[in-house]
Structure 1
Amino acid sequence: MNYYTIQPPDILKPFVRFFWVLEHELSADEPQYVYRSIADGCTEMVFHYQASFDEITDDGRQNGGPSGIQFQTDTYRRFITSESFGIFGAYIYPFAVPRFFNIPSSETSNLALDYDTFLGNAGRELEERIMLAPNNLKRAEILTDFLLMRLRHNTPTDDRIITSIRHVIHSKQRRTVGQLADTFNLSTRQFDRRFKEYAGFSPKTYLRLIRLQDAIQQYGSNKSLTQIALECGYYDQSHFIHDVKAFTGYHPGFYFSGKAEGTEYRNA
């Protein structure tokens, strides 16, 4: 399995964390591959340039998991393919959604939309150009140009709230919602409403999502699950188990074992 990232140009870094590529060749010993996407506080633009996936739902397999946008989500999804595949994606801050697409993040949470449905002709043209690109560096260039054009045509956003979301994502400080509101000179009610508009979820839920991501960053370390839980701000082991199961579908003992669906690229 081949996974790597591509850094966006500096002008795009305030909005796009990175571009990524996942490629894998199936074989007679591995006739199919199941991928599990977990809850995440960021948005992903995904392009299947080689093969495609079907989504596996509680009701069984669902045909046609097309390229599209998975907005910030507090749930997990499962996908399956029987072909060797190549995927190009962009990992985007949630507060970039209003800038790129002129829609509040609060209206997109947990949505997964194909480009035709969400962007119409512009989405279809973008997807076609990405699919026909000769390599992933060119795909990154095409998507960069598309996103920069969207930035120029949409209005600026609330800098205080953007700063607060960045703080939650990148700072290892563990603060309550009230403390965050005080830091950015807003009442708790104001902060909650405006944060949700740009992050897609209430501050309380978003803090849980980021705490999960912080824990997952410890994947492959030699730390015990207890150490990971404490370092990431979980009150106790049961709290840690509850959130990991809710957001990944797995007990943390299994998720961090290296055997869970969707973790293979972390083992590469």
Structure 2
Amino acid sequence: MPAPSPTDVRMLQRAPCAGLRPFVQQLIVVECVADVRDSHLPDTASVLAFSFRERCRLDDGRAVPTVAFTGLHDRLRSHEHPRGHGLALAKFTPVGAAALLRPPQDEFAGTTVDLDDLAERDCGTQRLLEQLAVAADAAARLDRLEAYLLHRLGNARPDPLVAAAIGWLQRAPAGARIETLSRHIGLSQSALERRFRRIVGVTPKKYASTLRLERALAAYRPGIDLAGLALAAGYYDQAHFNHDFRRATGRSPGAHFGTT
């Protein structure tokens, strides 16, 4: 699916302040000036989104909640945004969402849920929506979102063992085994997997698989050799990359990127 035209969408994104960086990768404001259909490939970040004007729909036709949390997805998903839709998003670090939303994160994997259903919405959330709607510009909206998240997180701290496991997986060479990670962390493999799923939403193995695919997608450029791309991202060969890509998107890399 082609990306939306830059003339159809206005977007501002920035890194969060130092106090949020252990929890949030990026703050984003998106405003649609036309009807837009977009698609999102699998990645390793969960997202909290505030629709301050209009609402979008998921690819199954359901309206997205006004305040929606999306857990880690390992499949392609799409949204339909009406003209005038405005939303502010926080894209979390792998350990960040668990500090904000208390239930185990594996409850949210592959889903988009209403914050009201989690008993997490309060008067501050409604006040944020009102502030986002009347803010002078996108930069002011990011300021409001940042202040809200700082307040909600309070004195929270990321889980140190899971944060260490994430760092190990991000640095690990191709073929690194979860047993090796368990020894590095100092937990049994079953204890590590339970803790990792509760904080991140998926097992270490699933996270590593999604991370490989995310790296390959980020590195893609027109004309690039897909076999070399697969190896650089940590796959054994192009066949493994093709398999993971087809499982996530329903089509081959060549078909997705328009090279076949």
TM-score range, shorter chain: 0.7 to 0.9
Task: Give the counterpart letter for 1:95 in structure 2.
Answer: V
Following superposition, the deviation at residue 69 of structure 1 comes to 1.5
Secondary structure, in 3 states, of the residue corresponding to 2:78?
A: strand
Structure 1 residues 254, 24: closer, same or farther in 2, change over 3 A? farther
CA contact (8 A) 2:13 2:29 kept: yes
Alpha-carbon deviation of 1:23? 4.1
CA contact (8 A) 1:165 1:195 kept: no
Residue 79 of structure 2 corresponds to which residue in structure 1? 79
In 1, Cα distance between equivalents of 2:187 and 2:147: 36
Q: Which residue of 2 aligns with 1:107?
A: 107
Q: How does 1:103-252 map to 2 (within 5 A)?
A: 103-118=103-118, 119-122=120-123, 123-152=125-154, 154=156, 156-168=157-169, 170-171=170-171, 173-174=173-174, 175-220=176-221, 222-252=223-253
Residue 54 of structure 1 pairs with residue 62 of structure 2: no
What TM-score do you get using the length of structure 1 for normalisation?
0.81
Residue type at the aligned position of 2:48: M
**Gap change, CA 1:20 and 1:64, over 3 Å in 2:** closer
SS in 2 for 1:217: helix
Other structure's SS at 2:47 match: strand
Q: CA distance change for structure 1 residues 86 and 250 in 2, over 3 Å: closer, same or farther?
A: farther
3-state SS of the aligned residue for 1:226?
helix
Q: Provide the C-alpha distance between the structure 2 equivalents of 1:149 and 1:63, rounded to a whole number of angstroms.
A: 28
Q: Is the contact between residue 71 and residue 109 of structure 1 (CA under 8 Å) also seen in structure 2?
A: yes
RMSD value, Cα: 2.6
1:79 counterpart letter in structure 2: H
> What is the count of residue pairs matched by the alignment?
249
Contact 1:94–1:105, Cα closer than 8 Å, also in 2: no
Q: In structure 2, how many angstroms separate the alpha carbons of the residues matched to 1:100 and 1:36? A: 26
CA contact (8 A) 1:115 1:124 kept: no
Among candidates 19, 22, 26, match of residue 11 of structure 1:
19
> TM-score with structure 2 length normalisation?
0.83
| In structure 1, C-alpha distance between the alignment counterparts of 2:239 and 2:250, rounded to whole Å | 15
- How many angstroms apart in 1 are the aligned matches of 2:95 and 2:63? 31
Counterpart Cα distance in 2 of 1:173 and 1:221? 26
Counterparts of 2:258 and 2:12 in 1: how far apart (Å)?
Answer: 22
Question: After the TM superposition, which segments of 4 or more aligned residues of structure 1 sit over 6 Å from their partners?
Answer: none
